[in-house]
Structure 1
Amino acid sequence: MKRFLLLIAFVLTFAGTRAAQIIRVEPASWWTGMVNTQLQLMVYGKGIGASKVSFTYPGVTLKEAAHTNNPNYLFVYLNIAKDTKPGTLKLQFNQGNQTLTHNYPLLARTNKEGAAGFSQADVMYLITPDRFANANAANDALEGVQVNREDPNARHGGDLAGIEKRINYIKDLGFTTVWLNPVQENRMPGGSYHGYAITDFYNIDPRFGTNTEFKNLTANMHRNGLKVVMDMIFNHCGSSHWWMNDLPSKDWINNNSGTYVQTNHAKYTLMDPHAAGIDKDILINGWFVKEMPDLNQRNRHLATYLIQNSIWWIEYSRIDGIRQDTYPYPDYDFMARWCREVQAEYPQFNIVGESWYGRSSASSWWQQGSALNKQGKTGLKTVMDFPLTFITSGAFDYIKEDRTGEGSPLYSIYEELAQDFMFADQSNILTFLDNHDLDRFARADDPDLRRYKQALAFLLTTRGIPQIYYGTEILMDGKKAKSDGYVRTDFPGGWAGDKTDDFTPAGRTAKQNEAWSYMQKLLTWRKNNPAIAQGKLVHYVPDGTGVYVYARTSGTKTVLVLLNGTNTERDVPMERFKQVTGTRTRGTDVITGKQLNISQNIKVPAKGQYILELN
């Protein structure tokens, strides 16, 4: 659908002087046969709020025409019966002797591919679109915002066409799912390359492409066996959002009195039984930054607007999942309602909420079914495991002297996973070594790939849904101390004229190719592996050897993993692991193909690992 189709196309007939006008109707289209038969239309235009709405269409009835304190808005609530036929709904807005007619498309809902959700059988590839690849230079510089690749905080020109051009690269690496940082419009001064300051919830950013291009990209991903996860933000919008010049109502934005109130980021107040009300209020109603006005989801019109926006994108583009930014910051009851309504329309769909906490107790509190949360059902299927990420950033480091037992660097991982009893669903936890908000896991000063390989071995074999940040496969490094832009650098070869092309083996160094091939082998092996996709995790306390051993088991399939956290080769007695090895005597290392006798001691190389499929 081209951008002009999302703008208002209406037929205007009038007698006398025109007093009202229609500038926008959102959403610009809808579907018949939805589970939720109610549809809200936000109608915007000069004086439109004084109009009376009328229409005649079989199966469609007017439930409410709601007014706000702003006469330029009218919220029209329709009921669309399940057996309503697709067609054009001719809405009439009558005001005195004037009639405005808006032709509203009611489309047929089809059972297309997509909206499939994601699970621990998948591995996500996280892309920052502005920094991945540029295949359409014509959309780089728009409205005075220039591309400057020398500035880490400016627009660099990456786009949807660049991602589409690299689908085979992502597929060949072995990923099953692509998570895109926000692609909705960000027409902010300076560019807002990261996408988290949305200025139009219903349009793709023109510097990335068009709605049609996004829809086609998703379809192409599906044809290549890839799923698509869309980043969304309900907590705030960008200060240049079109409605900021004429807010739909006084309470559309939190703390909108002219005195700036910044959030305190005190996310623990939501679950803290001793929390002071003012602390919780500042968390929810304060702004992230002055450029990101905080949305008030307690406003019923805004709440419905945001929920419908998600459903519109799912139905229009057939994305498979959503990653919701800053999940604890919006209104709690609203977020629970959003999860319920999306799940009702798309039962297989999955939503992961950014629950940025340093403790598993807090992360697990947000997951649907948590016994710790007495506040009410969250509806959130998947949470992000930041506590594990913070541990793994150092757990695989080189140590000066060998430590075993509780002193082992891998003991902290064991201890963290031992607290999984707090999670209601241990399979729906997003695990990662880094992402667009953290220092990159790979380090320029690492002498070899042992830290890298061991961390990937763990990430891709432990419980949960793994996510890998673009460029990890070629050892992209960077710290965010100066700014986030230093961990969101351009993928070499994504731009015409780049000195190297790391999308190809010839453009990569020998070390990069070794890392790339290691990841590819693990990802390819992991696909459709029942022990990983559905398997139970059984792990053992790192003992005197300093080796962390665990298994994933499903039916007759068992994968046994041995991670040596020490600087010396370790001789590991195998009798202890009979619960998972059973009567089997041999295992095949999935990386080297080496056959090992698991009925006797196994020597695990220093800072090395074995991933054994038991025969």
Structure 2
Amino acid sequence: MKNNKLTLLFAIFFTTLSMAQITKMEPPFWYEGMNKSEIQILFYGKDIAENSVIVSKPAIITNLTKTENPNYLFVTIDTKNITAQTLEFTFKKGKKTFSQPFEIKKRRPDSATRNSFDASDVIYLLMPDRFANGNEANDSSPNLTEKGNRNLPGGRHGGDIQGIIDHLDYIQELGATAIWSTPLCEDNDKGYSYHTYGQSDVYQIDARYGTNEDYKRLASEMHKRDLKLIKDYVTNHWGAEHWMFKDMPSYDWFHQFPGYAQSNYRMTTQYDTNGSKRDAKYCMDGWFVPSMPDLNQSNPLVLNYLIQNAIWWIEYADLDGYRVDTYSYNDKEGIAKWTKAITDEYPYFNIVGEVWMHDQAQISYWQKNSPIAKIQSYNSYLPSVMDFTLHDAFGSVFNENEANWSNGTIKFYENFVNDFLYDNPNNLLVFIENHDTGRFNEIYKNDFKKFQLGMTLLATTRGIPQIYYGSEIGMAGDKGKGDADIRQDFPGGWKSDTNNAFTNSGRTETQKQYFDFSKKLLNWRKNKEVIHSGKLTHYIPENNVYVYFRHNDTESIMVILNNSLNGQKLNLDRFEENIKGFTSGKDIISDTTLKLNNELSIEGKTALILELQ
């Protein structure tokens, strides 16, 4: 009996010792019925590549890839026609063997045909660390370096996933229909980690935000309210604390020069017919900053890892879309394959890429089926891009009181003139500001009339409007003082806050003014198909007054933006082709009805949104 116990103890000891060889398995599981049925599983552990490996039936290993680092083994199996079950991988080295389970999970019904965000939505962009602290117990983590410190402007302030869940009703009341949260995966940088763009584990939610299960719960709670969840995905780089950077699978997993080289940030080198190869390389391969190693998407193992990770998160968390950071810094062939793989799996899934450029033709190059990129036989397959040229106009127009050939509302007109350069201008993301730009209310010194002008255009023009947390209550912040100033905590998100702007009773009078206007405008927009998909017809601005119509076969909306300090009288004969037989218009903000006779008066720095009747 004693010998049997001893044998059992030795067996447990050696099994535990062998199992310790696998410290990471990614993806941790997969799903049945996927279009991407061939899955490449990364096994990581001390000298794992020295083992032979087999898998239980009905799975078959179709490929085995080793790198120069023996701690990595990439095992490919085909899951086609394999139903939900647990497979068993058996590793053997000499006389020692051990097993590792790998689960194939059941897939959600109609997962492949899930709907995504589009022009019927209003996206609410928030930074989780700065939005609301719903669980004070996770403000710091024993396994992560940077601890919570709300007194430090650039530190971790404690906002988390629970804080978002706690205030979903607020976002819904505002009239937003989707949430884009900046990244939530683990970022173990020693400092300034709250923005989470330097991720250290892309399969794990940062413990200071919560758990993977919390993220799933966020999506579930949002879907109960008909809200959509957009994940911020980073394909271009990871953080220097990423476990794979500390023990690289291969030298070429990251771009090496050797080691670090700074990107020149000149995205135009990606398609410049006169450009040098060196300049193009330093754009694509150069690191964004020293703390963010640049991923090599031209390495098939890297590319496949990123594709699988993106698809895994969609299935696991039931996501409704992606926003892709620094899209145009990636290897352009590699990122096109990444994007196509996702949209092949999910034909209706929308992905918007950050293409921070200041010319419509250059931005258009990165949108799917671009007539510009077609010249070079390139297709990014990216459905949506961010309209940065419109953002540029938003940052100056409302301070340009006296119009001339190039200033004032003519900037808006000239922006939309160039819509012919895009394959699908209605799928552009339009925005006044975001987490990297100057705050609109700071630029315009909290001038409420200018806020009304900006929000009116944002909510009624073509494209998908995105607002930045806190602007709807008048939050400002000076980018000149650093990023932390444009990423301040939302008032009321922490128990100690004396001002709670999440509730009507807790708002100041100024906050109420901003919120009530935003709420009325965005909730009106929710059910206006003519705004979501109607044609845009606009007129050359006169006297700093910009007039445009959104119209379809059943409805017509007339929008008037008077950016002049003075009241203006509009001769309505000029707009006859759109006014046609309509005799009046109801202003959706003031609820007043205006007669559409020969002339219409509008006060200075005022917007009108008229439902024509």
- The TM-score range, normalised by the shorter chain, is over 0.9
Shift of 1:14: 5.8
Count of aligned residue pairs for this structure pair? 598
Aligned counterpart, 1:279: 279
Shift of 1:408: 5.3
Aligned counterpart, 2:267: 267
Shift of 1:288: 1.3
Structure 1 Cα separation of the partners of residues 119 and 306 of structure 2? 28
Identity of aligned residues (%): 39
Structure 1 Cα separation of the partners of residues 400 and 508 of structure 2? 23
Q: What's the TM-score, normalizing by structure 1?
A: 0.94
Alignment of 1:484-523 (within 5 A): 484-523=483-522
User: Retained in 2: the 8 A contact 1:573–1:601?
Assistant: yes
Shift of 1:334: 1.4
User: Retained in 2: the 8 A contact 1:323–1:352?
Assistant: yes
CA 1:20 to 1:231, structure 2 compared with 1: closer, same or farther past 3 Å? closer
1:358-404 residue CA offsets vs partner (Å, 9 max, x unmatched): 111111111111111124211000000111101111112263xx436
Aligned counterpart, 1:371: 371
Q: Secondary structure at the match of 2:564?
A: coil
Partner letter of residue 256 of structure 2?
N
Structure 2 Cα separation of the partners of residues 250 and 348 of structure 1? 37
Shift of 1:223: 0.4
Structure 2 Cα separation of the partners of residues 176 and 85 of structure 1? 35
Shift of 1:19: 11
User: Retained in 2: the 8 A contact 1:12–1:100?
Assistant: no
Shift of 1:145: 2.2
Q: Secondary structure at the match of 2:551?
A: strand
CA 1:327 to 1:408, structure 2 compared with 1: closer, same or farther past 3 Å? closer
Shift of 1:254: 0.6
User: Retained in 1: the 8 A contact 2:403–2:409?
Assistant: no
Alignment of 1:306-321 (within 5 A): 306-321=306-321
Partner letter of residue 136 of structure 2?
A
Partner letter of residue 290 of structure 2?
K
Which has the higher mean CA deviation after the structures are superposed, 65-74 or 495-504?
495-504
User: Retained in 2: the 8 A contact 1:20–1:48?
Assistant: no
Shift of 1:270: 0.7
CA 1:24 to 1:447, structure 2 compared with 1: closer, same or farther past 3 Å? closer
Aligned counterpart, 1:8: none
Q: What's the TM-score, normalizing by structure 2?
A: 0.95
Q: Secondary structure at the match of 1:572?
A: strand
User: Retained in 1: the 8 A contact 2:116–2:349?
Assistant: yes
Aligned counterpart, 2:139: 140
CA 1:245 to 1:408, structure 2 compared with 1: closer, same or farther past 3 Å? closer
Shift of 1:15: 9.0
Shift of 1:13: 9.1
Structure 2 Cα separation of the partners of residues 47 and 24 of structure 1? 13
Alignment of 1:521-600 (within 5 A): 521-543=520-542, 545-600=543-598
Aligned counterpart, 2:6: none
Deviating above 4 A after TM superposition, structure 1's stretches of 4 or more consecutive aligned residues are: 11-20, 112-115
Shift of 1:245: 2.1
Cα RMSD of the aligned pairs, angstroms, is 1.9
Unaligned runs of 5+ in 2: 1-10
Structure 1 Cα separation of the partners of residues 352 and 437 of structure 2? 18
Partner letter of residue 343 of structure 2?
Q
Structure 2 Cα separation of the partners of residues 12 and 439 of structure 1? 59
1:308-351 residue CA offsets vs partner (Å, 9 max, x unmatched): 00000000011100000000111111111111111121111100
1:226-282 residue CA offsets vs partner (Å, 9 max, x unmatched): 001000111111111112221111111111634x31111011111211111101101
User: Retained in 2: the 8 A contact 1:26–1:42?
Assistant: yes
Q: Secondary structure at the match of 1:418?
A: helix
Structure 2 Cα separation of the partners of residues 375 and 41 of structure 1? 33
Shift of 1:555: 1.5
CA 1:250 to 1:571, structure 2 compared with 1: closer, same or farther past 3 Å? same
Aligned counterpart, 2:335: 335
Aligned counterpart, 2:451: 452
Structure 2 Cα separation of the partners of residues 36 and 504 of structure 1? 46
More helix by share: 2
Structure 2 Cα separation of the partners of residues 331 and 605 of structure 1? 51
CA 1:341 to 1:15, structure 2 compared with 1: closer, same or farther past 3 Å? closer
Partner letter of residue 189 of structure 1?
K
Aligned counterpart, 1:382: 384
Aligned counterpart, 1:210: 211
Which has the higher mean CA deviation after the structures are superposed, 440-449 or 569-578?
440-449
Unaligned runs of 5+ in 1: 1-10
Shift of 1:444: 7.9
Structure 2 Cα separation of the partners of residues 386 and 493 of structure 1? 31
1:517-571 residue CA offsets vs partner (Å, 9 max, x unmatched): 111001000002111111111000012x331100111221111101111111100
User: Retained in 2: the 8 A contact 1:451–1:607?
Assistant: yes
Structure 2 Cα separation of the partners of residues 63 and 29 of structure 1? 18
User: Retained in 2: the 8 A contact 1:15–1:97?
Assistant: no
Shift of 1:191: 5.0
Structure 1 Cα separation of the partners of residues 168 and 219 of structure 2? 11
Q: Secondary structure at the match of 1:217?
A: helix
Q: Secondary structure at the match of 1:481?
A: helix
Q: Secondary structure at the match of 1:297?
A: coil
Q: Secondary structure at the match of 1:495?
A: coil
1:391-428 residue CA offsets vs partner (Å, 9 max, x unmatched): 111112263xx436x36510111011101111110111
Aligned counterpart, 2:177: 176
Which has the higher mean CA deviation after the structures are superposed, 305-314 or 503-512?
503-512
Alignment of 1:33-432 (within 5 A): 33-58=33-58, 60-81=59-80, 83-111=81-109, 115-143=114-142, 144-255=145-256, 257-258=258-259, 260-373=260-373, 374-397=376-399, 399=401, 402-403=402-403, 406=405, 409-432=408-431
Structure 2 Cα separation of the partners of residues 351 and 465 of structure 1? 12
Aligned counterpart, 1:4: none
Aligned counterpart, 1:3: none
Structure 2 Cα separation of the partners of residues 340 and 16 of structure 1? 41
Q: Secondary structure at the match of 1:587?
A: strand
